[in-house]
Amino acid sequence: MAQAEINVMTSGHVDHGKTTLVYALTGVFPDTHSEEVKRGITIKLGYADATIAKCAKCGKRYTLEVAKGKCTACGSSELQAERKISFLDAPGHETLMATVVSASSIVDGALLIIAANEECPQPQTLEHLLVLQAVGIKNLVVVQTKLDLVDRLAARENHAQIKKLLAGSGFENAPIIPVSAVHATNISELLTAIQEGFATPARKDDAEPVMLIARSFDVNLPGTAISKLKGGVLGGSIAKGVLKEGDEIEIVPGFFSVKKERESYKPVKTRITSLSAGGKVEVARPGGLVGIGTALDPALTKSDGLAGNFIIKASSPYTLVNECAMEITPVERSIAKFSPGFVENEPLVFGAGTETTVGFVQGKAKGKGKKAFLMRLKKPVLVQPDAKLAVLRRANNRWHFFGTAKIV
Ligand code: GDP
Ligand code: ZN
């Protein structure tokens, strides 16, 4: 099977039905995040693929994974596959917000899932909407779910609240599709909104490749003979360009170590020995999950040891920054009340790559404009031109989405 053409991120308040909806669309539960929550703010993005298909007879849409050969509406077996897409599960837990944002460079469209049986907006509904807006996601479909739990009047009221929430957000024309995920009602309408609203973007094969590593593995069984050991495997999505078998690559900022209480990162060079994207491929492109077999010592890649890093071509120029001036733009609407100005050494969390890093405010950056602050980062970040980082800041003892940052 080919690689998924686009990544669709799910977002929305916790318990509003993201996981259940992905199951209704793909027939699989995306990975749960309980382990990630326990481990702190490094998360593994969950991927679930599905192929959108249209019934030649009745025109209804469904996914091949769920329909299993027969149109769920009319029973016809004339199914026309249209496009393979990948759902990226983004956790609703507020401390994971920065990671949601940093995934935006590999996201082509987003679903905002809103439960019809609760007052709208709930805190994370608003926060996720602000994030999607701030990082420049253009394509949004709102899914009004749990429709089976409310009557017609309540559904209409909830719809009006959603409309009000979207007003002035830049997403006022986003379709709002009512569904029940547990009863699989209106899934055809939702798939049509995705198919028509999230076009596969034109990709440039000759762009300098950048891939975000979401997970890394050691695929060898314990006790494998050294001569039979397979190299470390990296999984994630390509943000731009293409990667090929045989490419010499560099992983940055690289392997983390602490020696004599000093933290450091060491870039790692290797070669791509195999590629998979929905099956074995020779060239991998932006879109769904890509698995990269490498010549690396599997000890480096085991247990997500290299997650959060970037893959670039070994020859390509890059800059890693620890100390930098950042222009910080707060969001206009926020659910948190932040204190004005920053205090000396105030910690902020930045979303970069598929990981987050903590930065400490060192005061104003002179000569760089009013919004620029000098920042000392715990973990160096790869600077991509025009990249926007998400900024989280503490208010009332919680991390909240604060705005976006650009290195200047
Ligand atoms: P998540 O935290 O957003 O991933 O939410 P889940 O998918 O885990 O759903 C939370 C709860 O809502 C679960 O008990 C689901 O069974 C339930 N749920 C999700 N979607 C629906 C729906 O469409 N109808 C009903 N009745 N329950 C739903
Ligand atoms: Zn049909």
Ligand minimally distant from the alpha carbon of residue 61: 2
Note the pTM of the prediction, 2 decimals. Answer: 0.86
Q: Whose CA is nearest to atom 19 of ligand 1?
A: 17
Q: What is the C-alpha to C-alpha distance for residues 198 and 177, in angstroms, rounded to an integer? A: 15
Q: Whose CA is nearest to atom 10 of ligand 1?
A: 15
Give the pLDDT confidence of 119-160 residue by residue, as tens digits: 999 988 998 898 888 777 889 999 999 999 999 999 999 999
**Domains of the chain, each with CATH number or no CATH:** 6-197 (3.40.50.300), 210-313 (2.40.30.10), 320-407 (2.40.30.10)
Which of 15, 33, 89, 124 is the pocket-test mutation for ligand 1 (most atoms within 8 Å of CB)? 15
Q: Could you tell me if 23 and 181 are in contact, meaning their C-beta atoms sit under 8 angstroms apart?
A: yes
Give the pLDDT confidence of 52-61 residue by residue, as tens digits: 999 999 999 9
Near ion ligand 2, which residues have CB within 5 Å?
55, 57-58, 60, 71, 73-74, 76
Please report the atom of ligand 1 found closest to the CA of residue 145: 23
Q: Could you tell me if 4 and 289 are in contact, meaning their C-beta atoms sit under 8 angstroms apart?
A: yes
pLDDT tier for residue 35 given thresholds of 50, 70 and 90: very low
Please report the atom of ligand 1 found closest to the CA of residue 14: 2
Give the pLDDT confidence of 207-225 residue by residue, as tens digits: 889 898 888 888 888 888 8
Q: What is the C-alpha to C-alpha distance for residues 313 and 67, in angstroms, rounded to an integer? A: 41
Show the tokens assigned to 228: 């039979």
Q: Could you tell me which residues come within 8 angstroms of residue 135 by beta carbon, excluding any fewer than 6 positions away?
A: 101, 104, 388, 390, 404
- List all residues whose CB is within 6 A of at least one atom of ligand 1: 14-20, 92, 145-146, 148-149, 180-182
Ligand minimally distant from the alpha carbon of residue 72: 2
Please report the atom of ligand 1 found closest to the CA of residue 181: 23
